[in-house]
Amino acid sequence: MDARLNLLGNPVAAKSLKYILSAGKVFSESTLPAATQQLVTLRVSQINGCGVCVDMHTKEAAHAGETSVRLNLVAAWREATVFTDAERAALQLAEQGTRIADAAGGVPDEVWANAARHYDEDQLAVLVLLIAVMNTVNRLNVIVQQPVGDYQPGQHAQFG
């Protein structure tokens, strides 16, 4: 199966993606824990049905030492006992920020307040931007029907 459009091969798409994905460098240099970032990107991708991102972030997280138990339980984070309160707050913010259309008022104040109890302002900024960028990338991949399954850890290291 081939994608409808080669996002990295098309000059216009590749140029735009270069700027979108360069935010990854800011995220990786931040104090927001890398494990939290991987959990958030995985959960956003699961919600959006972006198979290529689920594949990529699962493999990257495992390569970085994340356990299969935690990766397998991301979709059930509310019931799972393997996540910290801070990770739960980040996952809750990720879900609410991804499902904006499901809530007339956007992200509820209590969800934001819960995240703010665990993360400083810079970390919150990274969380918000990470959620927004992942939603963008997920939508790009879903629209073009990006094939999934052959991602190798580090494959997109040039993007941050």
CB 153 within 8 A of CB 15: no
pLDDT at 106: 87
Examine residue 86 and state whether it is found in any structural domain, yes or no: yes
User: Which pLDDT value is given to residue 155?
Assistant: 66
The predicted structure's pLDDT at residue 157: 61
Whether 102 is covered by a domain: the verdict is yes
Indicate whether 26 belongs to any domain: no
Task: Tell me if 18 is assigned to some domain.
Answer: no
What is the extent of the structural domain holding 95?
38-146
Whether residue 104 lies inside any domain: the answer is yes
Determine the Cα–Cα distance for residues 132 and 128; give it in Å rounded to an integer.
Answer: 6
Query: Per the domain annotation, does 17 fall within a domain?
Result: no
Residue 150's pLDDT is 81
What total number of domains does the chain contain? 1
Query: With a cut of 70, which residues of the chain have pLDDT below it?
Result: 104, 151, 154-160
- The pLDDT assigned to 105 comes to 78
Asked whether the beta carbons of 134 and 21 are under 8 A apart, the reply is: no
- The angle formed by the CA atoms of residues 68, 35 and 70, to the nearest 5 degrees, is 25
Query: Does residue 32 lie within any of the structural domains?
Result: no
Domain at 89, CATH number: 1.20.1290.10
In degrees and rounded to multiples of 5, residue 32 shows phi and psi of: -70, 125
For residue 158, being part of any structural domain is answered with: no
Q: Which of 92, 78, 84 is nearest to 40 (CA)?
A: 92
From CA 96, how far away is CA 106, in angstroms rounded?
7
Contact 56, 151 (CB under 8 A): yes
d(CA 25, CA 131): 15
